[in-house]
Amino acid sequence: MKRITITILLILTIITFTNEYNKAYKYVYNIATYYGVNESRANLLANTIATEYEKYSCVPYQVFTALIVSETAFKNVYGDNNKAVGYCQLHETSVWYVLNFFPDLEQQYKKINNFQSLIKYPALQIKIGYRYLYLIMKYITNYNIVEALNYWNNNSEYYKRVFNILNYLEKIY
């Protein structure tokens, strides 16, 4: 009886996580393509965000997607006088902060020539960005998403921008 209960719980857990992955994937894919991202890149971004969401579900994929729209409108660009890279506008100090906590990402990053080359690795950018927001929430803001967003941008009103975008994205999704 105990085995059957454990098996049923395991199956329900797998179904729930698969369903959450699919919801996250579809959401991100639809938003990315709405912003003009080509199909293969939208697939890569959606898959990466959905996978990160499975690992760090305290970071809502909808909020992270709104953050990307806020930062670059799904453009893989340099910003802040070439000090910020990619979809999430990551700064080098933020990247190194994340790498200190995640050796798997550090190994991937070491294969890149320099920080500016991170622009060529969108999946790695997304993983670092997602985990950066997770680390901010966990260690700095006690899981307060408003404070975490403000910390991300060093602006006490940044959350309003992201939430306004989130509200807009919910209408177009």
The confidence score (pLDDT) of residue 103 equals: 97
Express each pLDDT in 52-99 by its tens digit. Answer: 999 999 999 999 999 999 999 999 999 999 999 999 999 999 999 999
pLDDT of residue 18: 65
Q: Which two tokens stand for residue 29?
A: 């894919």
What does the buried/exposed string (b/e) look like for 138-154 if buried means 16 or more CB atoms within 10 Å of the residue's CB?
beebeeebebbbbbbbe
- Taking 50 as the threshold, does the pLDDT of residue 8 lie above it? no
Taking the C-alpha atoms of residue 45 and residue 29, their distance in angstroms, rounded to an integer, is: 7
pTM (whole model) above 0.85: yes
Beta bridge partners of 91: 84
Is the separation of the CB atoms in 57 and 122 below 8 Å?
no
Q: Is 1's pLDDT higher than 80?
A: no
Q: Is the distance from CB of 27 to CB of 104 less than 8 angstroms?
A: no
E-assigned strands of the chain? 78-79, 84-85, 90-91
R_g of the chain computed on alpha carbons: 17
Fold of 2-172: Lysozyme (1.10.530)
Query: 101-151, pLDDT tens digit by residue?
Result: 999 999 999 999 899 999 999 999 999 999 999 999 999 999 999 999 999
Residue 144 corresponds to which tokens in the numbers above? 């307060």
pLDDT in tens, 156-173: 999 999 999 999 999 887
